[in-house]
A and B are shown apart, each in its own frame.
Chain A
Amino acid sequence: SRKQMKLSAFFSGK
């Protein structure tokens, strides 16, 4: 099955 990634996986500096 496939899991949806979140943008936070690419970028931490929110």
Chain B
Amino acid sequence: MFELTMAKGSILQGVLEAILDLVNVANVDCSSKGFSLQALDTEHVVFLSLFFPSEVFRSYRCDEDCSMGIAIADMVDLLRASNDGDIITIKVTDQNFEDITITFESPDKTKTTDMDLQLVDARSHRLKISEWHDMESEYQAIFCMPSAQFMLNCKSLSVIDDDVVIRVNEEVISFSTKGKSGCVNISHVPNKTDNPEKASVTLTHMRGPVSLTLNLRYMKSCAKVSTLFDQVKIGLSTKLPLMVECKIAEKGYIRYFVAPKITE
């Protein structure tokens, strides 16, 4: 049996809402340690992997590891029907592994709403990329910045063009674009420390200058999720997809891996 409870408006609900523009179906794995989700966008440019440790939920129980495919848009639609103050329970019983049950309980416990959501096949969303998760040292540069600043950069650049070039070297981290109507270049002088301050842009890992070109549509989508958190960590390498990561509590994370654009 698997069962988790959370308050309406909790971080999981916020994240599920924020990933909807990229993801329809996700593969969810539950273990005693927590709730993880993997999903691939329909164009196979972005892979999303998140892990919510059990302690971030109001209560959490998982007797046996389980894996299921969930139509995220349908689940979010159901969750939206909850009222302020409701406690939301998501449950899968061993006897019935064809759907999950979502329950809302009103704060005064006088009203309960039960809904069943059919599970779907999401095996194609399961990429064996676990090795990427421990590949921080393989990235040529990793920096952290306030997620509000990341969102602002993406919005400012998308006025001009669809792409952003992110360049990182020891002296500067820049976001730039060039379009028909002009160009924008946003430069940040980074701090260099292992303990990034919340308000600053910090270069935490540097093996050499690197630059990548990315579609701003995907970057804005990553930025949308990141604004649920204070800071975002971005890793660049010419041999790996761009990594955008936010930490959830001590052990949890949400990570996007975004394939860049190349010059033909």
Chain A interfacial positions (CB closer than 8 Å to B): 1-11, 13-14
Contacts and interface: CB of A to CB of B under 8 A. Distances in A.
B46 to A, nearest CB: 8
B256 to A, nearest CB: 11
A2 B127 contact: no
A9 B260 CA distance: 10
B128 interface: yes
B181 interface: no
A3 to B, nearest CB: 5
A7 B44 contact: yes
A10 B239 CA distance: 7
B261 interface: yes
Contacts of B206: none
Interface in B42-70: 43-47
Given A7-B47, A8-B44, A2 B128 contact: no
Given A10-B240, A10-B241, A4 B259 contact: yes
Interface residues of B, number: 24
Interface of B: 40, 43-47, 124, 127-129, 132, 163, 213, 215, 239-241, 257, 259-264
B259 A2 contact: no
B232 to A, nearest CB: 20
Contact of A4 (B124, B239, B261): B261
14 contacts: A1-B264, A2-B163, A2-B262, A4-B261, A5-B260, A6-B44, A6-B45, A7-B241, A9-B259, A11-B128, A11-B132, A13-B127, A13-B128, A14-B128
A4 B241 CA distance: 12
A7 B264 contact: no
A2 B40 contact: no
A10 B219 CA distance: 19
B261 A7 contact: no
Contact of B261 (A2, A10, A13): A2
Identify the 7 closest CB pairs spanning chains A and B, nearest first. Answer: A5-B259, A2-B261, A13-B128, A6-B44, A3-B264, A7-B259, A4-B261
B259 A10 contact: yes
Nearest to A8: B44
A11 B213 CA distance: 19
A3 B262 contact: yes
